[in-house]
Amino acid sequence: MSSTVGEFFGGSTRKIRDEVWGDVPVDKAVRTLLDTAAMSRLKGMNSLGFALYAFPAAKHTRFDHAIGVYYLTRLTLKRIIDSGAYLEDRDVRASLAAALLHDVGRYPYATAVEAIRLPGMLPGDEVARRLIEDTEIAEVLLTGWDIKPHNVFRLVARGDAQEGTLGDGSEGVAPLRNLTPTEHLARDLLSGSLDVDMLDRLVRDSQGAKVPYGLVDVEALVNSLRIVGQDNRAVLAVDEPGVGYLQSLVFARYLMHYNVYGHHALRVPTVMFLRAVQDALQDEKITPEDLSRQDDAGALILVSKSVEPESSSAALVKRLAERRPYKRALEFDERHPSYASLIKLRDDASWRRRVEEAWSRYLTRYRKGVAGPFDILVDLPERRRFDVGLRLIRRSPLPGERNPVNWQGVSGLSEEDMTRYHAPLHRVRIVTANDDLATSVRRHIDELFTIAEEVG
């Protein structure tokens, strides 16, 4: 790896042709990291999970996404340095390595697997830490990049940074304390207020799915970036001409979540796989460690080969392989009166399964339908906030304002307005094994909601 910051952005004779961003320069250090086994696994993991059920052209992988995030991180760092900010070589190297490795700890079909809340479930952060610090990646970072693996992990870890502390040390993940100002800035860039991880996903997923919703002028947004001081930290902000690009990002994120990420054709197979994996884990047929080593195809094979042929896991995986998804019975968002009681199930996979099984027993026992113990499933939305972290530098602040101005000041929308705006994105779905059962669920839904509140 080069020893001066300027050389990072001088180009390389070797390039990777990316379908979204074009030619991406990759020097020997980057290529060596991309060739590791952990990075190669990402080539078999679709960025949109079960996307082919709804968007057959969306075949891009997490490996493609890693290259895109690397490209945008490189572009943003160059913008920051060109604007006069000082970054040491090691900070630039760590940020670029983190961009490549940010998804290395994700499970196959991560949206499903990482929603399983069970004791002993290995968090994605711990998977990432082991791969970055205890495998060939560590040697590549030490010798090829001249950076400490743990410093890269501090940028990759997904726990919320609160008062300089990342994570709580639970489930084997050691807390990361005393993040430096530069680490805060790097995390802000990668997955915080700017979130190049999200920027690449929006554009790449939109192009891959052949939909117009996520198309953002990313390079124009990056060119509008500034570094400003706030609370004794350097934070990212946009200048006044960049407001339009920031607004387009907010709308693109909403539209992609509503039309793509929350599409029922993605969510239904996701909740089916979640239940298949959960049952295999609770029956001790597979382990989280086994699962974390697989790509998408390997995960399906692992589950189907590890469980009994007549098990729920085998039946669900078979339906997924045959592309026979469950049917939607009911769909509602947080404005529904029963939303609050059902969303609690998100924090306890065993509780959710008890409710699903109780519903099946009730409908069968009282001749209101015929349902096996895994024929009714509840799809719960991810725990996700839609904050807008980037701030604005006004040429002439309004009376009472101080630069940088937050999104509320830019948009005129209060936090309550934004909560109402995003309410339709937090959808609960009840899905069933067949149409007759879906009809029965709709007919007796009030009784089922009462049962859900009684199941402990």
Q: Smallest Cα–Cα separation from 291: which of 102, 118, 138, 122?
A: 122
More confident residue, 313 or 170: 313
- Reported as a pLDDT band with limits 50, 70 and 90, residue 264 is very high
Q: Which helix (H) or strand (E) holds 94?
A: helix 89-101
Q: What is the pTM of this model?
A: 0.92
Q: Is residue 94 predicted with pLDDT exceeding 50?
A: yes
**If you average pLDDT over residues 226-242, what whole number do you get?**
87
Q: Which domains does the chain have, with CATH numbers?
A: 5-210 (1.10.3210.10)
User: What is residue 381's predicted lDDT score, i.e. its pLDDT?
Assistant: 92
Bridge partners of 226? Answer: 237
**If you average pLDDT over residues 170-184, what whole number do you get?**
66
Share of the chain above pLDDT 70, in %: 93
Q: Is residue 329 predicted with pLDDT exceeding 80?
A: yes
Contact by Cβ (8 Å): 200, 20: yes
User: What is residue 7's predicted lDDT score, i.e. its pLDDT?
Assistant: 56
User: What is residue 8's predicted lDDT score, i.e. its pLDDT?
Assistant: 61
User: What is residue 451's predicted lDDT score, i.e. its pLDDT?
Assistant: 97
User: What is residue 1's predicted lDDT score, i.e. its pLDDT?
Assistant: 36
More confident residue, 85 or 315: 315
Q: Is residue 407 predicted with pLDDT exceeding 90?
A: no
Per the prediction, the chain carries an average pLDDT of 91
The model's pLDDT over 241-251, given as tens digits with 9 standing for 90+, comes to: 999 999 999 99
| Strand 225-230 to 233-239 pairing | antiparallel
More confident residue, 423 or 313: 313
User: What is residue 194's predicted lDDT score, i.e. its pLDDT?
Assistant: 92
| pLDDT-wise least confident of 31-45, 56-70, 226-240 | 226-240
| pLDDT-wise least confident of 8-22, 229-243, 281-295, 347-361 | 8-22
**If you average pLDDT over residues 209-218, what whole number do you get?**
95
User: What is residue 9's predicted lDDT score, i.e. its pLDDT?
Assistant: 63
Q: Smallest Cα–Cα separation from 127: which of 287, 298, 289?
A: 289
**If you average pLDDT over residues 311-317, what whole number do you get?**
98
The model's pLDDT over 338-361, given as tens digits with 9 standing for 90+, comes to: 999 999 999 999 999 999 999 999
User: What is residue 12's predicted lDDT score, i.e. its pLDDT?
Assistant: 66
